[in-house]
Structure 1
Amino acid sequence: MAVRKELVGETTKNEAIYAYHITNSNDAEVVVINYGCIIKNIFVKDKSGNKVDVVLGFDDVKGYFDNSCFLGAAVGPTANRIANAKYTINGKEFTLPVNDGPNNLHTDMDNGFHKRVWDAEEGDNFVKFTLNSAEGDLGFSGNRVFSITYTLSDDNALSLHYHATSDADTLVNMTNHSYFNLGGQASGSILDHTLLLNASNYTPVIDSAAIPTGEIASVKGTPFDFTQEKTIGQDIAADNAQLKAVGGYDHNYVIDEADGTMREFATLSSPKTGIAMKCFTDLPGVQLYAGNFLSAKDAKGGIEYKARDGVCLETQFYPNSINEAGFPDPVFGPGKEYDTTTIYQFV
């Protein structure tokens, strides 16, 4: 096990950007950068023993300065959508940028945590990133300290451990927005990938704004049913109002028997490479996003990513949970630290 630090550029504010290469005994390698806690590369071996990069991204870190599709990014302090870009905690209303129709998406496109340089601490097989965020920053309460620790084990499990403390009640709902393509980042569509989701229910959305209705609906008999393994492409073009509203899969799934303990919630596989990814989390939900509107030029190797060239499995509290009484509570503060782990294991 080893971690190698490499200077790879600087921000427009002349802040140094470092890449941290974490390797294990199986010759797997994860590359993360201190800018946005971005997962830049994940190299694992395919069925022929060739190393394959299975996440979308950029060779030049300058590509992440725009990154409108959030490739590889740690999104925070709150991911996904908040209705009308406002919420209330303890009787006080907070407002966020209106950046997705009338709503808020992923906190702030230009100033969110994915656009900041984090402090970094290296270990034998991990990198811990830390960021301080003061009262009022980005429209949130509390003086907060956030950390994300990326750990690569010898059994090819990449662990993402999130932690935050706050001196006041505050909203926290972070995620990682990596786009996976287990056929290789340059291999095109992920519609041939097979997916198994241990989620018997999902949260339907109102319309193209993708705000949940508040209902928790069964997937049985619908195109949203991945409780039996099938390809992502099998039903994505079905005549279904929910799919048409957001151009395909871009919905929150309710993980079965989620009780705050670690659960295996998904298996994603590529027939091209034989690479499979098992997914675990202690969170209650996961956003399946099939890259319906993915677009990125000058990506790795100079290629252009197009719609459905990658798929996201974003663990989370449900979208707009803060405004839905029946959804899991994403408020943390004194006496209630934010502490959660998601694991992607490549087999």
Structure 2
Amino acid sequence: MKRILPAAAILCAALAVSCAGNREAEISESGLDRAKFRTVVDGKPTDLYILKNAAGMEVCLSNYGARIVSVWVPDRKGDMKDVVLGFDSIGAYLAARNNMGASIGRYAGRIAHGKAVIDGKEYEFPVNNNGHSMHSGPDGFHTRVFDAVQKSPSQVAFSYRAADGECGYPGNFDVTVTYTLTDDNAVDILYEGTTDKTTIVNMTNHSFFNLDGDPNRLNTEYVVWIDADRFAPIDSTCLTTGELVPVEGTPMDFRTPAAIGARMGEENDQLRYGGGYDQTWALNAPGDAGRPCASMYSPHSGIRLDVYTTEPALQFYAGGSLNGTVTGKKGIVYNRYCAACLESQKFPDSANKPQWPSSVLRPGETFTSRCIYKFSVEE
């Protein structure tokens, strides 16, 4: 359980937080009240950090989970829209304990049966999804308070030390997640980390994108493109099988842009297991962050999202498990297929599948990963 301190302690801690001159903006352009994000959780102050660029775009973030809270971009009419799901206060995030917008770690995705062998020793991790460990269990990085330094009006860095043994993982892992909002409307996310003991690391951002700025509108008309000839099939528990199979002739083929809902009704085991799309694609240009690996576009709003990454894989999740039990910003209920995720990462369960790119990090090495979410408008 997260421990929230009395009001006097909250005030003192909040006054001690450095926001590099950003205190004057108490209400964000997207309508978020910073006061509702200021408290103390597990002895550490939380706050809302506001990034702006010369083009008028705004991104709001919280150091609780080093997460994106809002992304404020123009649609084709020039009207500004908040295109990610989330909550209006830190209290709502604490109550929900979900991963919306969060930096996922120490290991994103599923690890089979919550077990992996690292340097000849078996480690066990919290099991929380169909008998597997998902996103490092219920107490992963999405529930941790990061230290924050706002370096400029367009950049903030969140840092955290995951202690040796936290969530079962070996090694003290020191990680920094730096968000930079560029003047060409891109959210550039850089992960950097080191360890003092051999461990495994796989990090991603878990933003749920609704490109209409209206979660009451479903994503089934969004047009998706993924630069991948192969994908990683899952079994009935949503665990990767270890294969990489061609997308050719399957609903997983997004090499030609297609609407999310165009083939979700087909009789297909992968769609049935994932409740729609919830698979990993093997990118055709792994490691190349200079070219887009995927895109998603809303014909209704005209907002387009392009994804760039240094990672070898992309998880595309169409929001099939959203079920109307969560009420988010502005009192809107989040129903099935109201948003979608594009998560750059290593292959899930790669710790147990040596045929895939390694997720092992050793002392003296630096874990680095980069994901860029770039927004634009199509007429």
**TM-score past 0.5 threshold:** yes
State whether structure 2 residue 159 is matched by structure 1 residue 130.
yes
Distance 2:355 2:304 in 1: 34
Match of 1:249 in 2: 277
Is 1:36 matched with 2:54? Answer: no
Q: SS in structure 1 opposite 2:239?
A: coil
**Partner secondary structure for residue 62 of structure 1:** helix
| RMSD over aligned Cα atoms | 1.6
2:244 counterpart (202, 211, 216): 216
Letter of the 2:280 counterpart: N
- TM-aligned CA distance change 1:240 to 1:216, over 3 Å: same
Distance 1:226 1:154 in 2: 29
What is the CA-CA distance between 1:9 and the residue it aligns to?
Answer: 2.7
2:243 equivalent to 1:225: no
Question: Counterpart of 2:271 in 1: which secondary structure?
Answer: helix
Q: How far off is 1:68 after superposition? A: 5.0
Summarize the Cα distance change of 1:68–1:234 in structure 2 as closer, same or farther, 3 Å threshold: farther
Alpha-carbon distance in 2 for matches of 1:257, 1:58: 35
Query: Quick one: which amino acid aligns to residue 132 of structure 2?
Result: N
Matching of residues 1-347 of structure 1 within 5 Å: 4-5=22-23, 6-7=34-35, 8-11=37-40, 13=42, 15-67=44-96, 69-109=98-138, 111-124=139-152, 125-207=154-236, 209-259=237-287, 262-295=290-323, 296-347=325-376
Gaps of 5+ in 2: 1-19, 24-33
1:186 Cα deviation from its structure 2 partner: 2.8
Deviation (angstroms), 1:267: 1.2
Which letter maps to 2:250?
T
Give the Cα–Cα distance (whole angstroms) in 1 for the partners of residues 373 and 135 of structure 2: 22
Once the two structures are overlaid, the 10-residue window that deviates more, 68-77 or 97-106, is 68-77
- C-alpha contact (below 8 Å) 2:215/2:339 kept by paired residues: no
Which stretch of the first structure deviates more once superposed, 258-267 or 21-30?
258-267
> Retained in 2: the 8 A contact 1:263–1:282?
no
Distance 1:38 1:192, change over 3 A: same
The total of aligned residue pairs comes to 344
In structure 1, runs of 5+ residues without a counterpart are: none
- Give the C-alpha shift of residue 335 in structure 1: 3.1
Counterpart of 2:151 in structure 1: which amino acid? G
Question: CA 1:326–1:78 in 2, change beyond 3 Å: closer, same or farther?
Answer: same
Kindly tell me: are residues 20 and 12 of structure 1, through their superposed partners in 2, closer, same or farther at Cα, counting changes over 3 Å?
closer
Q: Which has the higher helix share?
A: 2
CA shift at 1:67, angstroms?
A: 3.1
The CA distance in 1 between the partners of 2:290 and 2:192, in whole Å, is 16
- Separation in structure 2 between the aligned mates of residue 133 and residue 269 of structure 1, nearest angstrom: 36
Query: 1:188 Cα deviation (Å)?
Result: 2.2
CA deviation map 1:310-347 (0-9, x unaligned): 00001110010000011110001223210111000001
- The DSSP-based 3-state class of the residue aligned with 2:197 is coil
Q: In the aligned structure 2, how far is the partner of 1:88 from the partner of 1:14?
A: 34
Distance in 2, matches of 1:344 and 1:3, equals: 26
**Following the alignment from structure 1 to structure 2, what is the Cα–Cα distance between the partners of residues 112 and 36?**
9
Change (3 A) 1:276 1:261: closer
Deviations 1:287-322 (A, max 9, x none): 110000114533111110011100000111001000
Using the alignment, how far apart are the partners of 1:51 and 1:344 within structure 2? Answer: 17
Q: Give the secondary structure class of the aligned counterpart of 1:123.
A: strand
1:12 Cα deviation (Å)?
Answer: 5.1
Q: 1:277 to 1:244 in 2, by over 3 A?
A: same
Change (3 A) 1:309 1:221: same
CA–CA distance in structure 1, aligned partners of residues 53 and 277 of structure 2: 34
Q: For residues 263 and 83 of structure 1, do their structure 2 counterparts lie closer, same or farther at Cα, with a shift above 3 Å needed?
A: farther
Q: Provide the rounded CA distance (Å) in 2 between the counterparts of 1:297 and 1:261.
A: 34
Structure with larger Rg:
2
d(CA) in 2 for partners of 1:40, 1:86: 32
Q: 1:26 to 1:227 in 2, by over 3 A?
A: same
Moved more, 238-247 or 37-46: 238-247
Sequence identity percentage: 36
* 1:19 Cα deviation from its structure 2 partner: 0.5
How far did 1:181 drift? 0.7
Q: Decide whether the 8 Å contact of 1:75 with 1:114 is kept in 2.
A: yes
Q: Which amino acid aligns with 1:308?
A: Y
Q: Distance in 1 between matches of 2:178 and 2:84?
A: 18
